Amino acid sequence: MLRGVVDFSVEGTSDLSLGLYFTKVKIGTPPKEFNVQIDTGSDILWVNCNTCSNCPQSSQLGIVLNFFDTVGSSTAALVPCSDPICTSGVQGAAAECSPRVNQCSYTFQYGDGSGTFGYYVSDAMYFDMIMGQSPPANSSATVVFGCSTYQSGDLTKADKAVDGIFGFGPGALSVASQLSSRGITPKVFSHCLKGDGNGGGILVLGEILEPSIVYSPLVPSQPHYNLNLQTIAVNGQLLPINPAVFATSNNRGTIVDCGTTLAYLVQEAYDPLVTAITTVVSQFARQTISKGNQCYLVSTSIDNIFPSVSFNFAGGASMVLKPEQYLIHSGYLDGVAMWCIGIQKVQEGVTILGDLVLKDKIVVYDLAHQRIGWANYDCSLSVNVSVTTSKDEYINAGQISVSSSNFCSFYKLLHVSIVSLSLYIVLV
């Protein structure tokens, strides 16, 4: 049996003051469209409920906010405590239940201090299905998602308000896991996030095929996408960092999270990295400090003077960062461009690889083989994708192309998809 490839349109902005990539989902009967932030650091798809007391009512991203109404959808059903998906969610701390109301609910706290709570709903998600060379046919699948009734922190602010968050974590409650467990999609998804000012990119439930992709095994039995980061090199020279600072434990490790705007590195690795970069550029750039970050005044192209940085992982896979994948353009000082180290220092804890280092790369989350792969790539180009058989054998399913013609307002949010406002399953 062949599994399908689902293609989501991706919008957003690579402006790191916002750092937001989002896609559209269509749920309910009649169908209603929601803009939801893409996040591989959490599991759940949730959207704002019409009963939400403090959800933002408008967005400065140039989109109209929508609210889900469980009464207004004829196919919506509340998820009771006895539902198996709720039972498994409670075991994994993704759900909670009150016997008094027999309603499966959730409370989530995100790394930036924002939070949300609400209850789970089962309803139809709509997409177009392509059967071989036939025209697209309307189809749907029932999925469980969250209906949020309260927000806190940055989730309440209008500057980057969307309708919810689309979690692509490895948990059983993620939509990707729900669809793959039923054989609708393969156990792999991929993204390619554009790093220029227009943002956008590609997101597929399926594998993007690219010969230069390298893979590193996932750390088993983790709630996030943890990798074994072993060493860091600058221009090929290994830095004096104890590998133990990257080892996975209760409060250590390295995770891949496209829902995080920048990247975060433990102090024991951050300090030697910044020192090495500064040494390389000391003759060509003047140093300064801005908002606590190491910055450089540069009068030429950063590609000409800044070194490459390599994060080296288990399995021999290296993630090579170009200067624009670890630097942030922070304006001008005395008429000279100022570039700052975009990777942030954490005193202790988890190293997080966010959009700053993941942009302009194909990233493949291959859960069937418990590994993550990546390759530098121009995400404005089309990509080859594959489907899998029930034995996880990969078959080329052709290309997904990126549209570069549709721009939204103010932030110039780039809309990229095969056909706008749609998500696709491709079966061959």
Least confident piece of the model among 17-21, 96-100, 133-137, 257-261: 133-137
- pLDDT tens-place string over residues 128-137: 554 444 455 5
Active site residue 196: no
Contact 273, 234 (CB under 8 A): yes
- pLDDT tens-place string over residues 372-390: 999 999 988 887 776 554 4
Q: Once rounded to an integer, what is the mean pLDDT over residues 53-80?
A: 93
Catalytic residue of the set 7, 83, 128, 257: 257
Contact 68, 50 (CB under 8 A): yes
Taking the mean position of all CA atoms in its chain, how far away is CA 306? 27
- Tokens for 290? 């801005």
Q: Taking 90 as the threshold, does the pLDDT of residue 267 lie above it?
A: yes
Structure confidence at residue 13 as a pLDDT band (50, 70, 90): low
Active site residue 257: yes
Catalogue all structural domains in the chain, each as residue range(s) with its CATH number: 5-208+378-427 (2.40.70.10), 214-357 (2.40.70.10)
Q: Once rounded to an integer, what is the mean pLDDT over residues 157-175?
A: 90
Whole-prediction pTM: 0.84
Catalytic residue of the set 7, 39, 128, 355: 39
